[in-house]
Structure 1
Amino acid sequence: MSIVEIFFSPSGTSKKVADRIAGNFSQEKEICNLLIFNSEKELKSEDVAVVVMPVFAGRLPKTARERLSKIKGNETPAIAVVNYGNAHVTDSLLELTDLLRENNFNVIAAASTVSHHSIFDGVAVGRPDDSDMEKIDEFSEKCIKKLESNESLESEIPGNIPYTDYKQLPFEISCDETVCAFCYDCVSICPEKAIPEDDPIETDLNSCSRCTACISICPEDARKFSGAAFEAKKPDFEKANSERKEPEFYL
């Protein structure tokens, strides 16, 4: 039996949540990072999947969904978690539980957790914090007990079908050529291949999902969101989402 951590974590926070949940289990861990893993995989019935996805405008990221779709279960128990930036979960958790069930996973529990917003950095600063982690630990212990009883998820997951439409954010991503070290880490990590291999200064904004992987990985902090649309949206968004939201758990 293995605990299989499956996550798509461009800014590192969804990985942090996945690591925390999996760390409460004593079994051997296996990592499946969907930023770099894009292959078919089948889990065993005795494995346990810890699946943590970020929320992009109320949905699972398209690329994350496509890659997760290639991972199948054998009535494998799964813990489904969406990790969002204190704004809106919308239909993302329902979408994740639906997808896992379609892929022959037995969803035993679900959650929405809160982390520092990856685009608007004034929202949910420092989260997940100690209080969040304590709640995640309590949830993990309940999941462990539930596995022993072989029960499935009983709680109703909020959301709507059809899911909300995908939205392409209009924000630009710029790279400061005077700071860039031309290490090409951003080229390697981009799940959309939106950064040319021969020119890491450029970004194909039509392909870019604004996932923030390139910004997070840059050792020189050369990449950032910019442009009039971003600057206009930032103060209003941060004000509208300043009130603390708490994680929610479903068993």
Structure 2
Amino acid sequence: MSSITKIYFSPSGTTKQVVEQIASNFTQEKETYDLLNFDMEKEFADEDIAIVGMPVFAGRIPKSGRDRLSKLKGNNTPAIAVVNYGNAHVSDSLLELVELLRENNFNVIAAASTISHHSIFSGVAVGRPDESDIAKINEFSEKCMEKIESGKSLESEIPGNKPYTEYKQLPFVISCDDTSCSFCYDCVSICPEKAIPEDDPVDTDLDICSRCTACIHICPEGARSFTGEAFETKKPAFEEANSERKEPEFYL
């Protein structure tokens, strides 16, 4: 009996939302591998169906997410590859995800790039995915079911280039307001880079921080945020440059 395996790296929760939406259209039993927490080797059976979601970080899938996904192996396991981005640029990310899954012996049967509220610049793609997005995602899910039943693999050409664009480290500062911090240590636990020290959760090692936003979005007090001149200067220009609505794209 096949099961639906939800696999995602979702620091802000939006990629998780898209994967969950796709999975909700399937009736099989479901299991979840959250790559913010799961960092182990795992092999999946040929009767499983994997829905794999990654956010887009400057045109790439996140390095930590890629490293953790690399430990998951298929056995010609059908997979749906999804990259989720904040209405800016997909660049090479979807091609990178599809190729990585294939290298790990997953049978990619479909792929998609979807749009969600930008995790860093709050004025971009506000309210997304919206009703229109969700309707398109549900229609794509139905087509994925048909594709799996047909036994066919992904036939569409995926946009992107190899070698992939180089990883970029954003210059933005993440700060924590120590007067608001409740010292719950949720940020310490969730940080995939271990950039927040256990003995001082107010601090962040910006040399290893990937600016993934997991610590910001998990903080119950709203104590953590992007600050500094580089961020404040970039924000209005980025939001204006990416104000025109982009639509999700699907590949079968």
Q: Structure 2 length as normaliser, TM-score? A: 0.99
Q: Which residue of 1 aligns with 2:202?
A: 201
- AA aligned opposite 1:16: Q
Q: In 1, distance between residues paired with 2:99 and 2:147?
A: 20
What aligned pairs does 1:137-148 form with structure 2 within 5 A after superposition? 137-148=138-149
Percent of matched pairs sharing the same residue: 76
Q: Which residue of 2 aligns with 1:17?
A: 18
What aligned pairs does 1:240-251 form with structure 2 within 5 A after superposition? 240-251=241-252
Query: CA offset at residue 126 of structure 1?
Result: 0.7
For structure 1, the residue ranges without an aligned partner over 5 or more in a row are none
Runs of 4+ in 1 over 6 A off after TM superposition: none
1:72-116: CA deviation from partner (whole Å, max 9, x where unpaired): 000000000000000000000000000000000000000000000
Is 1:73 the counterpart of 2:74? The answer is yes
- AA aligned opposite 1:10: P
Q: In 2, distance between residues paired with 1:130 and 1:211?
A: 26
Q: Which residue of 1 aligns with 2:168?
A: 167
- AA aligned opposite 1:190: C
Query: CA offset at residue 183 of structure 1?
Result: 0.5
SS class of match (1:81) = strand
Q: In 2, distance between residues paired with 1:103 and 1:89?
A: 22
For structure 2, the residue ranges without an aligned partner over 5 or more in a row are none
Query: CA offset at residue 215 of structure 1?
Result: 0.2
* Number of residue pairs aligned between Structure 1 and Structure 2: 251
Is 1:176 the counterpart of 2:196? The answer is no
What aligned pairs does 1:28-43 form with structure 2 within 5 A after superposition? 28-43=29-44
What aligned pairs does 1:201-220 form with structure 2 within 5 A after superposition? 201-220=202-221
- AA aligned opposite 1:182: F
Q: Structure 1 length as normaliser, TM-score? A: 1.00
Query: CA offset at residue 227 of structure 1?
Result: 0.4
Q: In 1, distance between residues paired with 2:241 and 2:29?
A: 42
Is 1:186 the counterpart of 2:187? The answer is yes
Q: In 2, distance between residues paired with 1:244 and 1:111?
A: 17
Query: CA offset at residue 50 of structure 1?
Result: 0.1
Q: Which residue of 2 aligns with 1:151?
A: 152
Query: CA offset at residue 154 of structure 1?
Result: 0.3
1:178-222: CA deviation from partner (whole Å, max 9, x where unpaired): 111010100000000000001011000001000000000000000
SS class of match (1:131) = helix
Q: Which residue of 2 aligns with 1:237?
A: 238
Query: CA offset at residue 29 of structure 1?
Result: 0.2
Over aligned residues, Cα RMSD in angstroms? 0.3
